[in-house]
Amino acid sequence: MKKAVVLALVLVVAAGATAAAVAQPNRVQRTAAGGPSCNPAGIGFASVLSGPAAALGIDQEHWARVFLLYWNGGKPIVGLPKNFKRTKIKFREVGDSQLNPQVAATIGGQMVANKQVLALLGFVGSNETLGGGPVLDRAGMLYISSSATRDDLGQKLKDFYRVVPANIAQATLAVTTLLKNGVIKKGDQAMVVDDAEAYAANQADDVQKLLEAAGIKVDRESQPASTSSATANFSALANKAVAIHASVVFSPTQVASDSQLFTEQLKGAGFHGAFVAADGSFDSTNFKFPGAYLTYFGADVNKVAVAKPYLATFTKLYGQTLGFGPTTFTALEMMSIAISKSCADGKTSRAEVLKDIKSASISNSILGIPIAFNNAADNNRGPKSGVTLFQIQSDGTYKPIASS
Amino acid sequence: MHGVLGFQLYDWSYFFAQLVAGLTIGSLYALLALGYTMVYGILKLLNFAHGDVYMLGAYMGYFVLTALGGAAKPSVAVAVLFALMFLAAMAGCSVIGVLIERFAYRPLRRAPRIAPLISALGVSFFLQQTAVLLFGAIPKEYNTYSLRNGELFNSFSIGNLRVQYAQLFVFVAAIVLMAALTILVRRTRVGKAMRATSFDLEAASMMGINVDRVIAFTFLVGSALAGAGGVMTGIVFQNIQPYMGFGAGLKAFTAAVVGGIGNIGGAMLGGLIIGVAEQLTTGYLSSAFQDLIVLSVLIVFMLFRPTGILGSAAVQKV
C-alpha cells in the first residue's frame, strides 16, 4: 500500500513538472553583463499570465509575438513606412504580474535588474501599473501599456505611455451619444455597475459623474467579474434595475461573457432599457446581445481591413483571439519604432529610448486609427482619439454609431 | 444613491423575484454543501477540493454539450441532452472523488488533523491548475440562451410570483437529488453503514463494516452531487472557468456550517438561506454588501449557535 502511495506521489510530481515545462517554455533570456544590445534589442513583457484573468494576458502575449514575427521578419507592418530601418527586437524577460500590484512591483524590479531590457511592454491593468510603475520610473525605463486606461496614470507616472485613451474618453462618448440620441434624458434613472477593481471602478466613476451632471439619477452597484474566483450572477441586479425603472445600465466589466449574461438576465427580468458595456467586453464571439452598446478604443480587429493578414497569422498560430490583445501589437509597434531610432548609431540606452518615444507615431494601425502620444489631457502619454461607440446588431455584429 | 442609505421596499413582485433567484442559487450551494457536510460527518475533514470537483463537473457537462452539437443546434432532444450531461458529470466526478479520497486522504487518516487539511488544499490547487492546462484559462460558455431560442429562460407568473423555467428546473432538480440522498442515507443498508461510520468509525469497523468502502462511497455520492451542481451552474449562469470552484466552495462551506456541519438537512437549509441572503442583500441594500452579509451570517452563527441551525438536534448524520 505504501509503495502504491509513493508511486502515485512520484507520478503526480512528474506530471506536474512535465506540465510546467510544457506550459512554461523558457521565457527568460539572460545575457552576459554589458550595455544594452542593438542586435537584437531586448525588451520585457509583463501581463497577467496565470490566474483567473490569464486569458487576457495570454491574448496580449500572442499578439506581441505575432508582431515580432512580422517585425523581425522584415514583413510589411501597417502604419510603418516601407523604408524604415528596423532593429530586431527580442523578449529578454517575461513577467507574470497576475493583476497584482505587489507582484507587478517585483516584476518591475526584475526588468530593471536586467541591463539588456530597454523597455517594458506592460502592464495589463491599471492597478498593476500603479504598483509596478514607480519602480520603472526610478530606473528611467519606458513602459507602454496596451490596456491600462485609468484616468490618472498619465499624470501620476513619469515614464508611462499607453496606446489607448483614458477611461474618461469612453465614458464621455457613451453618455453624450446616448443623451443626444434620446436614449436617456434628464430625470431618468440609471444603474452603474463596476466589477470591483481599479479599471472598472474608475470607468464607472466617470460615467456616474457625467450622468449626474446631466440630471440623471444613478444607482451605483458593484459585482465582481467572473474572472475572480466565482461565477458572476447578475440576477439580483437585473431585478433591481427593473424595480427602480432604470432606463440604462452601464456595466464596464472586463469579461465579455459577463456582459452577455447580464443582458440576458436583464431581459429575463423584464428590463427594456439600454445596456452599455466598455472595452473590456469588446468580443463579438462572447458578447452579442442585440441592441446593447459598447465603447472600445479603436475598431473591431475582425472588421479592420488592414488587420486581416495579422489576424490570419494569429488565428493560424494561436486560434481565435479574445479581442483584447490587438492593442499590444500597436503598443509594441510604437516601442519598436522608438528603439530602432535610438539604435540608429548602433548604440542605445534606456534614456535614449525614452527620448525617442515622444516622437513615435504611425499613420495607421491594426485598430484602424493612427496612433501618437499627443493627448495633452493625458499628459501626452496617450492618443487623443480612438474611441468608438458600437451598437450590437441583430446578427451579433458591431456597428459603429459614434466616435471621437 | 439608492440602496445603501435609502432602503427601498419596492413591491411584492420584486420581493418574490429576488426570493426565487435566491432559492435558485441557494439550491446550487445546497448541493455543494451536502458534499462538505457528508465528508465532515464521517472524517471530520474539510474537503477544500470539493469546489474544484464541482468545477470539473461543469466542464464535463460542457464537453458533452459540445460533442452533441452545442446548445444552438443539439443533435438530440433537449431532455436527452441534459440527461447525458448530468450522467457524464455525475459519473466523472464520482470517479474523481473516489480517487481523491484514495490517494490524498486515506493515507493520512491516522495523521494529525492538519495533514489531510493541507492535502485537501494541495488537491484543490492541483485540480485548478490541471484544468487551466487542459481546458485553458479562457472561460467556456454553455450558451443555453440559444437553446430552442431561449425557451428555458422564458417565465410564467402566478400572481406576483414570476419564475423562469430554468430557475424552476434547478430548484426541482436539486430537491429531487437531495430527496434521493435522504432516502439513500435513511432507507438503505449502505446508508445505515454511512450513519454508523459517521457516529463512530472504529466501532463501525469492529462491527464488520468496511469503513474504507463506506468512506469511498461517501465521496462518490458527494462528488456526484457536486458534478450535478456544476452542470446546473453552467446551464443557468453560462460561464465556467477553472477558478469557479473556489468562490462557490466557500459559500457552500458557509452554508454547511450555518446549517449544521455534518447534518444533511442542515446543509440543504443552509444553502437556501445563504442564497436568499445574497439576493435580498443585493436587492434591498447594495451588491457591495453581498459577501459581507453572507460571511457576517457565518460569524453570527459561530458566536451564538456554533453547531448551526440543525446541528444540535441532528436526526441523522453522515
CB-CB contact of B297 with B289 (8 Å): no
pLDDT tens digits for B119-152? 999 999 999 999 988 998 778 889 898 888 888 8
Check residue A241 and give its pLDDT.
95
Check residue A296 and give its pLDDT.
87
pLDDT bin (cut points 50, 70, 90) of residue A320 is confident
A284 vs A317, which has greater pLDDT?
Answer: A317
Residue A32 has pLDDT above 50, yes or no: no
Over the range A248-265, which residues count as b (16 or more CB within 10 Å of their CB) and which as e? bbbbbbbbbbbbbbbbbb
Alpha-carbon distance B188 to nearest alpha carbon in chain A (angstroms): 31
CB-CB contact of A293 with A277 (8 Å): yes
- Which chain A residue has its CA at the smallest distance from B24's CA? A235
Alpha-carbon distance B23 to nearest alpha carbon in chain A (angstroms): 12
Check residue A348 and give its pLDDT.
95
Contacts of A230 in chain B (CB under 8 A): 244, 246-248, 251
Check residue B311 and give its pLDDT.
78
pLDDT tens digits for B172-208? 999 999 999 999 999 999 999 998 998 888 899 999 9
DSSP secondary-structure letter at A196? S
Among A229-233, B142-146, B209-213, the least confident range: A229-233
CA-nearest of A403, A157, A176 to A299 is A403
Are the Cβ atoms of A220 and B1 closer than 8 angstroms?
Answer: yes
pLDDT tens digits for A142-185? 999 999 999 999 999 999 999 999 999 999 999 999 999 999 99
Q: Which three cell numbers, joined as nine digits, stand for A176? A: 453624450
Phi-psi region of A126 (alpha: psi -120 to 50; beta: other; left: phi over 0): alpha
Instruction: Return the residue in A124, A216, A235 with the most chain B beta carbons within 10 A, the one to mutate for interface testing.
Output: A235
Most confidently modeled of A27-41, A243-257, B47-61, B151-165? B47-61
CB-CB contact of A139 with A350 (8 Å): yes
Alpha-carbon distance B232 to nearest alpha carbon in chain A (angstroms): 12
- Which chain A residue has its CA at the smallest distance from B277's CA? A236
Alpha-carbon distance A165 to nearest alpha carbon in chain B (angstroms): 26
B72 vs A87, which has greater pLDDT?
Answer: A87
pLDDT bin (cut points 50, 70, 90) of residue A369 is confident
Q: Locate the domains of chain B by residue range.
A: 12-304
Residue whose grid cell is 442542515: B266
Check residue A297 and give its pLDDT.
78
Which of A16, A219, A257 shows the shortest C-beta gap to B239? A257
Which of A237, A243, A268 shows the shortest C-beta gap to B164? A268
pLDDT tens digits for A75-118? 999 999 889 999 999 999 999 988 788 899 999 999 999 999 99
Contacts of B72 in chain A (CB under 8 A): none
Check residue A26 and give its pLDDT.
38
Check residue A6 and give its pLDDT.
64
Looking at residues B90-116, what average pLDDT do you find?
A: 94
Looking at residues B264-287, what average pLDDT do you find?
A: 90
pLDDT bin (cut points 50, 70, 90) of residue A22 is very low
Query: What does CATH list as the number for B12-304?
Result: 1.10.3470
Which domains does chain A possess?
A: 38-165+303-373 (3.40.50.2300), 168-296+388-403 (3.40.50.2300)
A385 vs B166, which has greater pLDDT?
Answer: B166
Residue A23 has pLDDT above 50, yes or no: no
**How many Cα atoms occupy the beta-carbon half-sphere of A157 within 13 Å?**
34
Return the percentage of chain A with pLDDT > 70, whole number. Answer: 90
Specify burial of residue B6 (Cβ count, 10 A radius: 0-12, 13-18, 19+): exposed
Which of B1, B22, B137 shows the shortest C-beta gap to A218? B1
Check residue B155 and give its pLDDT.
86
Check residue A323 and give its pLDDT.
77
Are the Cβ atoms of B8 and A244 closer than 8 angstroms?
Answer: yes
Q: Which whole-number Å values give the CA distances from A227 to A253, A320, B78, B135, in the listed order?
A: 10, 19, 29, 15
Check residue A362 and give its pLDDT.
94
Euclidean distance between CA atoms A258 and B21, whole angstroms: 17
ipTM of the complex: 0.79
* pLDDT averaged over every residue in chain A: 88
A189 vs A18, which has greater pLDDT?
Answer: A189
Q: How many CB atoms lie within 10 A of CB B100?
A: 24
Residue A225 has pLDDT above 80, yes or no: no
Are the Cβ atoms of A244 and B145 closer than 8 angstroms?
Answer: no
Residue A384 has pLDDT above 60, yes or no: yes
Three-class secondary structure assignment of A200-269? HHHHHHHHHHHHHHCCCEEEEEECCCCCCCCCCCCHHHHHHHHHCCCCEEECCCCCHHHHHHHHHHHHHH
Looking at residues B64-69, what average pLDDT do you find?
A: 96
pLDDT bin (cut points 50, 70, 90) of residue B12 is confident
